[in-house]
């Protein structure tokens, strides 16, 4: 996982900014997720047992992305909030799509923690996604992260960074295409 820029301690107790040492910061996030793993999994179980590891992994990615853009004062609170939001998104997505035939039959449900190959593939995919996000042009990356992580609407993003809504749409389209292409 490649994170850009120099990192250094932020102001205030427990605050981290984009200036913190890369290895120390990554170690802090990994340690925090490891220490709170059971609590985060309990929050994630609201979306269903089959999604727990995916939700925690998605939340980890979002915490890293958020910490690259802004100061994180309370890492524990951020982790819990993001896991909760990802779990809610999964529930909403499932309710709009409805159950699939394999879900109804109970087939195709695999415990991700019991499959080391799947865990490795997930870690590799996460690294590819992070690398792809890092290679995006700065404006595209900023628009993508504001929408996907900060959950801002296109008009809010346009006002914040001083571009048109159409430009925001274009950046999001190109970012999603770039991520899709890197996943193939």
For the segment 4-41, what is each residue's pLDDT rounded down to a tens digit? 333 333 333 344 444 444 556 667 777 888 888 888 88
C-beta of residue 175 within 8 angstroms of C-beta of residue 140: yes
Both structure tokens of 82: 């993001």
Give start and end residues of each alpha helix (H) in the chain: 22-35, 37-44, 52-69, 75-97, 101-105, 116-135, 138-148, 154-161, 165-183
Q: Who wins on pLDDT, 63 or 95?
A: 63
Q: Is 6 helix (H, G, I), strand (E, B) or coil?
A: coil
Average pLDDT of the chain is: 75
73-106 residue pLDDT tens: 787 788 888 888 888 887 777 777 755 544 444 5
Residue-level pLDDT at 173? 94
Rounded distance between C-alpha atoms, residue 122 and residue 133, angstroms? 16
Average pLDDT on 118-140 reads 87
Residue 118: which residues within 8 A CB-CB, separation 6 or more? 110, 112
pTM of the model: 0.42
Rounded distance between C-alpha atoms, residue 138 and residue 142, angstroms? 6
Residue-level pLDDT at 114? 61
């Amino acid at each position: 996982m490649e994170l850009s820029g120099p990192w250094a301690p932020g102001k205030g107790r427990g605050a981290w900014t984009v200036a913190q040492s890369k290895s120390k910061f990554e170690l802090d996030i990994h340690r925090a997720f490891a220490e709170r793993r059971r609590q985060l999994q309990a929050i994630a179980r609201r979306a269903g047992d089959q999604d727990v590891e995916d939700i925690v992994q998605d939340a980890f990615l979002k915490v890293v992305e958020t910490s690259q853009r802004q100061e994180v004062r309370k890492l524990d609170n951020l982790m819990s909030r993001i896991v909760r939001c990802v779990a809610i998104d999964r529930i909403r997505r499932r309710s709009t799509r409805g159950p699939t035939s394999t879900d109804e039959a109970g087939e195709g449900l695999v415990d991700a923690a019991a499959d080391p190959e799947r865990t490795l593939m997930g870690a590799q995919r996460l690294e590819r996604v992070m690398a792809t996000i890092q290679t995006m042009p700065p404006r595209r990356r900023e628009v993508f992260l504001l929408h996907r992580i900060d959950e801002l609407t296109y008009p809010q993003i346009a006002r914040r960074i001083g571009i048109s809504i159409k430009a925001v749409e274009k950046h999001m389209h190109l970012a999603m295409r770039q991520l899709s292409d890197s996943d193939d």
